[in-house]
Amino acid sequence: MRARTWRRHLVPYLLIAPAIVYLALFFAYPMYEGLVLAIYDDDALLPLRSEPTSDAAEVAEIPQGTGLQILDRQSRAMIDDGGGDLLTEQWFRVSGAGDTGAAVDGWVSEARIRVREEDAAGNPLAGTVRPRLGQSADPLTDVHAEPNDRSGVVGRLEQRAPVAITEVALLEVWFLVQPADDPGAAAGWAPSRYLQVFDDGESGRVHRGTAGEFTTAFIERMVDDRFFGPALRTTLLIMALLIPLQLVLALVMALVIHARIRFSSGFLYVFALPIGMSDLAVGILFFSIFTGNGLLNSILDGLGIIDGPFAFLTAETTNWIIFAIVLAELWRATSIVMVILVAGLQAIPDETLEAAELFGAGYWQRVRHIMLPLLRPSIQVALILRTILAFQVFAVVIALSGGDVVTVLANESFRQYVDLRNDNVASAYALFILLLSIASAVFYLRSVRAESEVRAS
């Protein structure tokens, strides 16, 4: 019995399982990644190791950008954890006659061998030992057991001695480094790919790390950005102008359609037409109206109101640009609100409105006392939708201002990502827009619910 109820309760969960997988894959995961991008710097810290190998113990973690003093270098077999600007060295396995006359077979750095002979594919076959310049230089070259200058010496070669090259190894250089401004700090080894080296290998800095940490750096950079303030202000200004206008206009349109006067279905099609247009197309359309030789100037000029074309869309006339943006958005998106309100009006039973009429309510009294209160849930949905869309306004702004003179939050996210190649700060902008959207939705839901609770009690 209990098993059966359990099974019965499981069925809905099985049915929504695909939806949960879908949400996880296409909604939650990208959101999570975006969040991580905005607040988690995944190459903030570089671990230093006790030996020049990635298996060795960590002696310290130093942050990205730290100035370094380079104490030593060594070549090590490549660690294969991705690319980067590698500093590499080739080592050759050579065989030839040693300084004692005995045969020597071992590894020598490419710096000590001049390649004399290559096969068709360019692989070295034979060479000679480079001579060392200078009076005090050691005339002999060490031959190592392993392709590593710390390994044991198996023999020595005279300079200019001919050798056969039997094998080639590609090695990465490791540096023994210590933070430059802290002589007391522990020194450790790090591979070349994470460092930038200056001054002939005397000093350097940490280019990027391998370990991440949470950081507010990207958010700080967003807030400190000189376009952040204007973008936020403009976005809020457009919202404050747009949403009340849109609501009133959409309500009037919805009432016209609901009144079922002649041609009201024709009105519906005309009103709904802009829903089918892309926002960029609408932006370009309004650009063509407001631009220097555009429709508006032609009309004003033709009517003799102005003498020459008035430049509406310039850096000196940002108010006109904002006016044009609000007008374009009003034209484009009011019908979405209208459709929601029409659906809400149609959900009010005819008898309810007839009862109000019969009990003496005139048209405006019916709108005020019956339709508006019963439309409240639809208005709430429309407000949430419009506010969220207003936070995302983008293409119209780009079309009318080029994205420089007047900027909005979504445009800043775009600019950070595309122009400045800073996907972390771009993510921080996106996250900020998301937070504003959630906050506005919660505000609308709360305010309406609070009111209905007050009325119910």
Partner 1 sequence: MAEIRLEQVTKRFGDKVAVHDTSLTIADREFLVLLGPSGCGKTTLLRAIAGLGMADSGRITIGGRDVTYLPPGQRQISMVFQSYAIFPHMTVRDNIGFGLQMNKVDKAEISRRVGSAAELLHIEDLLDRRPSAMSGGQRQRVAVARALAMEAKVLLMDEPLSNLDALLRLEMRAELKRLLADVDATTVYVTHDQIEALSMGDRVAVMRDGEIQQCDAPNTVYESPSNRFVGSFIGNPPMNFLDGAILRSDDDVVVAVGHHEFSPASGVRPLIRDLSGNRVTLGIRAENMETLTAPGPDTVPVRVDVVEPLGAQNLLTVQVAGHRLKVSTHPTLRVAADDELHIRFPADQIRWIDPATDKVLHTR
- Binding residues for partner 1, rule: CB under 8 A, are 349, 351-352, 354-362, 365, 369-370, 373-374, 376, 455-456
E strand or H helix at 178: strand 162-179
| Min separation Cβ 358 and partner 1, Å | 4
Task: Report yes or no: 388 and 182 within 8 Å, Cβ to Cβ.
Answer: no
Rg of the chain, C-alpha, whole Å: 36
Q: Taking Cα atoms as reference points, which of 133, 335, 370, 348 lies closest to residue 250? A: 335
| Min separation Cβ 433 and partner 1, Å | 35
| Min separation Cβ 366 and partner 1, Å | 9
| Min separation Cβ 289 and partner 1, Å | 43
27: DSSP letter: I
Q: Taking Cα atoms as reference points, which of 151, 186, 150 lies closest to residue 74? A: 150
Minimum CB distance to partner 1 smaller for 224 or for 351: 351
| Min separation Cβ 255 and partner 1, Å | 18
Q: Taking Cα atoms as reference points, which of 340, 433, 339, 429 lies closest to residue 390? A: 433
Minimum CB distance to partner 1 smaller for 372 or for 439: 372
| Min separation Cβ 371 and partner 1, Å | 10
- The CA distances from residue 182 to 13, 62, 179, 203, 360, in Å, are 59, 11, 6, 13, 88
Task: Report yes or no: 375 and 389 within 8 Å, Cβ to Cβ.
Answer: no
| Min separation Cβ 350 and partner 1, Å | 9
| Min separation Cβ 370 and partner 1, Å | 6
Cα separation of the two ends of the chain: 42
**What SS3 state is found at 312?**
coil
Residue 199, phi-psi category: left (phi > 0), alpha (psi -120 to 50), beta (remainder): left
Task: Report yes or no: 409 and 237 within 8 Å, Cβ to Cβ.
Answer: no
Minimum CB distance to partner 1 smaller for 12 or for 360: 360
Q: Supply 184's token pair.
A: 């007391």
Minimum CB distance to partner 1 smaller for 19 or for 456: 456
The DSSP result for 325-339, as a single string, is HHHHHHHHHHHHHHH
Minimum CB distance to partner 1 smaller for 36 or for 370: 370
Minimum CB distance to partner 1 smaller for 421 or for 455: 455
Minimum CB distance to partner 1 smaller for 378 or for 413: 378
Task: Report yes or no: 398 and 280 within 8 Å, Cβ to Cβ.
Answer: yes
Handedness of CA 197, 201, 205, 211 (dihedral sign): positive
Task: Report yes or no: 208 and 194 within 8 Å, Cβ to Cβ.
Answer: yes
Minimum CB distance to partner 1 smaller for 101 or for 373: 373
Minimum CB distance to partner 1 smaller for 46 or for 379: 379
Q: Which residue has the tokens 């007391």?
A: 184
| Min separation Cβ 260 and partner 1, Å | 13
